[in-house]
Structure 1
Amino acid sequence: MIAPGQPGLRVNATPDEVIKYSPRKIDVINLESNSFETIELDKFLRESAYEIPGINKIVSIYEENHLRVPSGLNLDPEEDTLVATFDGLFSGSSFVKQIKVILDILKEAMGIPVDIEFASDGNDFYLLQCRPQSYGTHNTPSPIPKDIPKDKIIFSACKYISNGFIPNISHIVYVDPQAYSELESRSEMNEIGIAVSHLNKVLPKRQFILMGPGRWGSRGDIKLGVNVTYSDINNTAVLIEIARKKGNYSPDLSFGTHFFQDLVEANIRYIPLYPDDENIIFNELFLKETPNILPEVLPEYASLADTIRLIDVPQATDGLILKVLMNSDLDEAVGILAEPSNEVDLSAPESITPTRRDATFWRWRMMMVENIASEIDPDRLGVVNLYVFGSTKNANAGPTSDIDILVHFRGTEKQRECLINWLEGWSLCLAQINYMRTGYRINNLLDVHIITDKDIADKTSLASKIGAVTDPAQLLPLGKVAKD
């Protein structure tokens, strides 16, 4: 993976990571049988490396814990450990720059970033396909209430989360990771994929979710995940990959990459789930003990009921449905049981205490208070200076933190009243935005303290924070200069 605009920026930095995620198989055309085949790349390179034009640009040699690009004919396919890195192409030619130029031209012509497929023999460039990059709709963060009863939560996630709100899920297709790992033959694993494909056709479209082990869409080693194509899962509302730890090892997920573009275009949400991580809720008891209706829906696959569990959510919960809330600002997602509706309305006597302190919270608050300072009219409202202090200024605000403001006021009672009303409007609006972003309800987000010249001179109360040696209030530039 490489960014044409920043070719030096790589996802995999160490040789071990590069090798781990390098291609292991290659699709070829067998000219004798006139058919497509998928073969081992290592074997192909050992047998045919010298016949491949520009092989030095395709592979690197791994030796003594280092990867190096072969120079000239300094390459022995039978003895060297060859890894497909394309480093010679990326760093030793103008190919990446040319790709960027092509993408920029197509973007300008089409008015939107594009996705292309191409072929090249080292001399000529063949554009096979060009289409606009897809952007999912409904990409606003969903509020995630923090007072959801734990017995109503089916799963939670806190890594690599996008935005989304998926209401009224009636069915869950759960491929049990443990049972799947115990299947002994490839044919048994393939049968799981076939059964999932049948469920994809008979279940109500966009009203079910798929939960399964590892990498949905695995081709080679299907122990890593269920072998399906996009057409086998295209009616689901959410695709969830589950990474259960085995000892200290956590399996790799595909992050939907086997059919990423299709998922985006179809607004199918993707969630990676790490049940063994701290603070994660994974209601395995519900998923494994709730009645399994697979034998009723697909009698021909009743023998797979130990591995595939099909849950009719309303039937199993006296009329409740599953809702999935996703919030990329919080990097959180949750699947909850709720009454059928378009709104989340769950209450509980106990709340889940926030445990995360993310830079997102204080940065957003600082940006908002800077906006307030830039919009204020000092002369109309009698404001001399505006200061921020507390958790926002100290960069440790959380999702429930308010924004502490000091207002140096020098004006009439009428101006004071207008100032309070003006700031209250900001406070109520920001509180609602904060709820939409985080799921935490706060009546007012601004905690405003008005101080006068006398307060500052006497250093009374919070006025002492102005110019203090320790933890001083931070002066904010006003949009208009106040008259002294």
Structure 2
Amino acid sequence: MNDLYQRLSDLSEREKELKCLYKIDQCLNGTDLYEILKNILLVIPGGWQFPEWCSVEICCFDIHLKSPRFESSANYLTSDIKSEDKTLGYIRIYYPSASGHIKPEFLPEETLLLNAITRHIALFLSLPVQEKDRKEQSENHWEWRLRMAGELCRYLPFQAFHIISVYVAGSTKNATAGPASDIDLIIVHRAEDTRPIEEYMKGWSHSLAVWNEARTGIP
């Protein structure tokens, strides 16, 4: 009977932890970091064995929050919020050193839960940076290709090759070029023999491919 009670108790604790993580993920759907962390502060105790004794402290960047009726003690769990080896803050959960005749202790699973929460927050904080980096890289790839298309046209012998006009097309035109994108050009001409144009473009294509590989590492 005692074994059954213990198993049911363990299952109840795991259910609380899963619900806590689910609510944390819901909090992370927001955009205002202060509001997100404030909501997480209120959600965390529900995942612990003794929520009524939990005091929670969250520090992230310049935001420092403490739960209502916060009480510090020497009995606490802590986990850093880290992104790419940079410590952005921490979450610390306190139990009273003693409550009456009981000294509440943290479960091993609660350490895992706290680490999971800080990982989720770190992932949320890293995503905008990654998206910004991807956007900046995309803009750089596009700008470089547009500039190279301009340089190609600058030295292109229009009269000798009977070229009327050149148009930029594809991802360079649409400003969506990535590190492996081609530079698509539409050449309008009156040449009967297109081999000089083709050889000229092959030379430029080879040179730009070598240059692009040096810039991005992509052949």
* TM-score in same-fold range (> 0.5): no
- Please give the range of the TM-score, normalised by the shorter of the 2 chains: 0.3 to 0.5
Q: Of Structure 1 and Structure 2, which has the larger fraction of its residues in helix?
A: 2
Q: Of Structure 1 and Structure 2, which has the larger fraction of its residues in strand?
A: 1
TM-score by length of 1: 0.19
